[in-house]
Copies of this chain bind each other. A is one copy, B any other.
Amino acid sequence: MDSKIHTVSASPNIAFIKYWGKRDHKLTLPFNSSVSMTLENPMLKTITSVKLSEKMKEDEIYINGNKIDSKDQRFNYMLGVIEQMRSKAKSDSKALVVSKNMFPTGSGLASSASGAAALSYALNSAFGLDMEPRELSKIARQVSGSGSRSIFGGFVVWHKGSIADGSDSYSEQIAPKSHWDELIDIICMVDSSRKKVSSTEGHELTARTSALFKSRIDFAENGAISSIQAIKSKDFQSLAQNIMRDSNNMHAVMLDSWPPIIYLNSSSLQAISVISELNESEGKYVAAYTFDAGPNPHIITTKANEHKVIEALDSVEGIKDKITGVVGDGPSMLDESESLIKD
């Protein structure tokens, strides 16, 4: 075991078919397969450095300069994968993990996917395990479900799997970014004063209380199959409809939860309206809206239509900023100069 510092950069992804509801909480196993595009933009990265040490008494994790302790839910998920990797490597070393998100503070953008992917990748390197990406996607999955998809670049499917131990719930690439590099995600950061339900709580609440959730599972699974086909054939019309319908469907089962989970706000509703009107006036889909567990509109469109979409979004109140993500690569190793750990 060396004491080198292993630093990885990873990107988030935007789900075209969403992951919501866990059939196994401990292993982070989903009810349905999900499909995403990995996003590239310098402002959207997470960088994670890992250093192993035989002198440390326990694993230590720092995120954005703050030490994460065992009271933090993230700690236990991250510790779990550190322990798995250590055991696989037959190592006794403790890990120092330092992670930093480039995301603008208060942007409401989730860093859990890129963070989970960067951590898994960096641990793999630090423990000298040389695991296949597919295996790493199962590791990342245990920290953050959507992180499983950020192990790959381009277009990615996370297979729901059916085995209880999670061994068949992994991600794989549908197509590399070069396959359809015209696609972009215009992320609109909006004001949000609403009290947040954490996505961990939300996953559980919906699966337990929504009377409609059981119908979502088949719908999303079919949406995943259809979206994979649409990506392979670069069929934006089919993909756009799948994207919007799945987002609406997920937010519907959220609204049907008790108490209801309402992430969409006035700006979100306006963005839905504006994009629907744009598509109507164009006589075809030129853009698709989608919303994760938050109010920020993600508008999936093509580079050719970017200007048109941004113009349309001008009338939406409450957008503080926009970041455009292009189709990106999976995690990459950074050299020593970019390490977050100073020896």
Residue contact A253 to B212, C-beta cutoff 8 Å: yes
Q: Answer yes or no: A248 CB below 8 A from chain B CBs.
A: yes
Residue contact A262 to B272, C-beta cutoff 8 Å: yes
Q: What chain B residues lie within 8 Å of A256 (beta carbons)?
A: 212, 245, 248-249, 252
CA distance A190 to B172 in the complex (A): 48
B-contacting residues, A227-278, CB 8 Å: 241, 244-245, 248-249, 251-253, 255-256, 258-260, 262, 264-266, 269, 272-273, 276
Chain A contact residues (Cβ within 8 angstroms of B): what range? 20 to 34
CA distance A6 to B270 in the complex (A): 48
Query: How near does chain B come to A211, taking the closest CB pair, in angstroms?
Result: 4
Q: Answer yes or no: A219 CB below 8 A from chain B CBs.
A: yes
Contact among B215, B219, B245, B265 for A269, CB-based, below 8 A: B265
Q: Answer yes or no: A214 CB below 8 A from chain B CBs.
A: yes
CA distance A107 to B269 in the complex (A): 22
B-contacting residues, A201-223, CB 8 Å: 211-212, 214-216, 218-219
Q: Answer yes or no: A196 CB below 8 A from chain B CBs.
A: no
CA distance A272 to B264 in the complex (A): 13
**CB-CB nearest in chain B for A218:** B211
**Beyond A212-B256, A245-B256, A262-B272, 20 extra complex contacts between A and B, CB < 8 Å:** A194-B273, A211-B215, A211-B216, A211-B218, A211-B249, A212-B219, A212-B249, A212-B252, A212-B253, A241-B258, A244-B260, A245-B258, A248-B255, A251-B255, A252-B253, A252-B255, A255-B255, A259-B276, A262-B269, A265-B266
Residue contact B273 to A260, C-beta cutoff 8 Å: no
CA distance A264 to B251 in the complex (A): 13
Q: What chain B residues lie within 8 Å of A194 (beta carbons)?
A: 273
Interface string of A270-296 (1 = CB under 8 A from B): 001100100000000000000000000
Interface string of A186-197 (1 = CB under 8 A from B): 000000001000
7 example contacts (A-B, Cβ-Cβ < 8 A) are as follows A211-B218, A211-B219, A212-B215, A212-B252, A252-B252, A252-B253, A259-B276
Query: How near does chain B come to A14, taking the closest CB pair, in angstroms?
Result: 19
CA distance A194 to B269 in the complex (A): 10
CA distance A273 to B265 in the complex (A): 11
Interface pairs A-B: 6 shortest CB-CB: A266-B266, A211-B219, A252-B252, A212-B212, A252-B256, A215-B215
**CB-CB nearest in chain B for A216:** B212
Q: What chain B residues lie within 8 Å of A214 (beta carbons)?
A: 215
**CB-CB nearest in chain B for A209:** B245
Query: How near does chain B come to A118, taking the closest CB pair, in angstroms?
Result: 35
Query: How near does chain B come to A285, taking the closest CB pair, in angstroms?
Result: 11
CA distance A258 to B245 in the complex (A): 7
Interface centre among A215, A241, A252 (most CB of B within 10 A): A252
